[in-house]
Chain A
Amino acid sequence: MIEFVNFYLFPALAIGSIYALGAVGISMIFGILRFAHFAHGDLMTLGTYGVLAMAAIVPVNPLLLIPFGMALTIVSALLVDRYFYKPLRELPTIYTVISSFGIALVFRSIVQLVWGSQNQVFSTGVKPPLVLFDTFRISVLHLQAVISTAIIAVLLHYFLTVTRTGRSMRAVADDPELAEVSGLDTAKVIRWTWIIGAALAAIAGTFAALNTSAHPNLGWNLLMPMFAAAILGGIGKPMGAMAGGFIIGLAEELSSYHWIGDDALISPSYKTAVAFVLMIGLLIFRPQGLFKGRLL
């Protein structure tokens, strides 16, 4: 039991928070701009490498350098939206999906060009795990990831329900035409969608890289579970996407626990498939997601 909590539950929550942070951006972009953003994973990679580059210069805890990664992803996302996605906005959104598919490749090749394609690790040294009540052992990083995600969730909720911009964002996600005729500033809403999505992508990417290592495919490999999390939570529902991220993270990690007998229930090499199977099941039975999101 203790083994289950220490080696499966805590890491699963940490992975879940990475998915949650990434899925918020995907869900908001899908809800407001109406397209599946295939470059979101690679945006995460870009942010991670921004943090990594600063960490090589400034020897402090990489978590303190995340703002640099966020600045990099926000600027890139806004530029890409301005020059590549905006010209296609009048067309069916599928053209923007194709474009984002290409942008994913552009981000990845920029990362490889500037930083090379080998694995890179943050040199934070080995930290002993925290021991609670002499039984629970949780790594400091996992704790940081879960706590930051919780704080972000609270702030995001506040932003979306109290501030004017946040409320316009929800209005556009609900009904873009109605929001436009009511005189809401759509351009501003789109700008804030990218800013929030990109900033959270940088945080998620950095946690993912700290958890394992940074490599150019880091974000692309996380894209599938993040899509699943966004659909699970209901498109256009940021809080749902957060919950979806945790559910997908838990499902992936706990599926390789030896629930029956001594073998893993599902071989760990098929972990990624779990998210996909969940997504397919959802698309068949409940495409609007668990929390009544939109079905586009």
Chain B
Amino acid sequence: MELTGLFFYAVSLLILGGIYAILCLALNVQWGMGGLFNAGIAGFYGVGAYTSAILTTSASSKHLGGFGLPVPLGLVGAAILAGLAGWAVARICVRLKSDYLAMASIGIAEILRLVIVNESWLTNGSLGLSRIPRPLADLTTGRMGDIVFLGFVWFVVLLVYLAASRLHDSPWGRSLRAIRDNEASAAAAGKNVEKFRIQTFVIGCAIMGIAGALSAHYFRFLSPTATDPLLVTFLVWVMLMAGGSGNNKGAILGALTIWTLWSVTEIFTNRLPPEWATRSSFIRMLLVGLLLQVVLQRFRSGLLPEKSPPVKFRQE
């Protein structure tokens, strides 16, 4: 019994770890490659989660829905809508200093949260959406479903990783890093800085939407608390900085490491007496905040530092 419990704990840890890995890869496209600061990850994640949930659930009188589309289409819809939201922000802010983008992205996340809480015809407000289907649900029953879902999540992680690596190694990615490192010289070499930045931001946001959609299908229930900026935005930043910004493998490794630390410490704190258990979650937050400071000052390159792709010359 103890062993199966442990096994399913590991499964749920890896499922959420995979979702965080996708978020981290997305942030790596925006920050690691493009140098764009996104402080509103939770907003784009929320858009993705709600889009996919609304597209795939069966009809309900409480919220918009009844499309009953298959889950992969839900994920595509999530990516499109989150990407559109990102496009709107990027369009306005990428020409300015990155601090403005940070402020605007945190603002858009806040507005999206307000919409989710207030527009109950769309999202059922704070009561949330329930009975969100899981992909491949017909294959198994009961807890085995978690294992199938684990495979599904990591399949998506693999796809996103391959796409992100391709972006990283391609001429597009090279131009992007050139812009990140020296905007003036990249512009002088004829690169359209604004266009590259908008594309980067939109791609990142679309991937964040996919991560949100996966989390909705995993929990099968979605309420506004899912877009908690602390857990979604902040933790992802710590993951990427610790894992190594600019390195896709580092992004995945950082996500898994920090998420494991975060969840495993929760097991210990939950065993404390109740009045200490609530306090200890604040200690955990405090430590994560300090961890970020240590990483920024001492290990800025992270666990797996950024590596430039090898230069290949065409064989004559």
Contacts and interface: CB of A to CB of B under 8 A. Distances in A.
Contact of A101 (B39, B117, B297): B39
Nearest to A95: B296
Given A36-B103, A105-B288, A110-B286, A276 B297 contact: no
Interface string B282-296: 110110111011001
B interface SS class: helix
Interface stretch (A7-15, A119-127, A189-197, A280-288): A280-288
B89 to A, nearest CB: 9
Contacts of A283: 92-93, 96, 100, 104
A102 interface: yes
Interface string A183-225: 0000000000000000000000000000000000000000110
B232 to A, nearest CB: 13
Interface in B29-45: 35, 37, 39
A109 B283 contact: yes
A84 B111 CA distance: 30
A267 B37 contact: no
B100 A35 contact: no
A interface SS class: helix
Nearest to A223: B106
Nearest to A103: B289
Nearest to B241: A98
Given A109-B286, A287-B96, A273 B237 contact: no
B296 A99 contact: yes
Interface residues of A, number: 41
Interface in B222-253: 230, 234, 237-238, 241
Contacts of B104: 279-280, 283
A30 B111 contact: no
A109 B292 contact: no
A75 B290 CA distance: 18
A223 B110 CA distance: 11
B150 to A, nearest CB: 30
B293 A84 contact: yes
A197 to B, nearest CB: 16
A287 B110 contact: no
A276 B110 contact: yes
A35 B92 contact: no
Given A98-B237, A98-B292, A269-B114, A109 B285 contact: yes
Contacts of A223: 106
A227 interface: yes
B111 A273 contact: yes
Nearest to B96: A287
A97 B102 contact: yes
B140 interface: no
Given A84-B293, A109-B289, A270 B114 contact: yes
Contact of A105 (B93, B100, B289, B296): B289
B293 A102 contact: yes
A81 B44 CA distance: 31
A88 B300 CA distance: 11
Given A105-B230, A280-B92, A38 B39 contact: yes
B37 A98 contact: yes
A284 B99 contact: no
Contacts of A88: 296-297
A113 B118 contact: no
Question: Which interface residue of A30, A36, A99, A295 has the most chain B CB atoms within 10 A?
Answer: A36
A227 B293 contact: no
A279 B108 CA distance: 11
B292 A97 contact: no
Interface in B279-313: 279, 282-283, 285-286, 288-290, 292-293, 296-297, 300
Contacts of A154: none
Contacts of B93: 283
A257 B104 CA distance: 26
B35 A94 contact: yes
Interface string B73-105: 000000000000000000011001111101110
Interface string B168-205: 00000000000000000000000000000000000000
Interface in A234-289: 267, 269-270, 272-273, 276, 279-280, 283-284, 287
Interface of A: 30, 35-36, 38, 84, 87-88, 93-95, 97-99, 101-103, 105-106, 108-110, 112-113, 117, 223-224, 227, 231, 267, 269-270, 272-273, 276, 279-280, 283-284, 287, 295-296
30 contacts: A35-B99, A36-B102, A88-B296, A98-B241, A99-B293, A101-B39, A101-B234, A102-B234, A102-B237, A102-B238, A102-B289, A102-B292, A102-B296, A105-B230, A108-B285, A109-B285, A109-B289, A112-B282, A224-B103, A227-B103, A227-B107, A231-B103, A269-B114, A269-B117, A270-B114, A272-B114, A280-B92, A280-B107, A283-B100, A287-B100
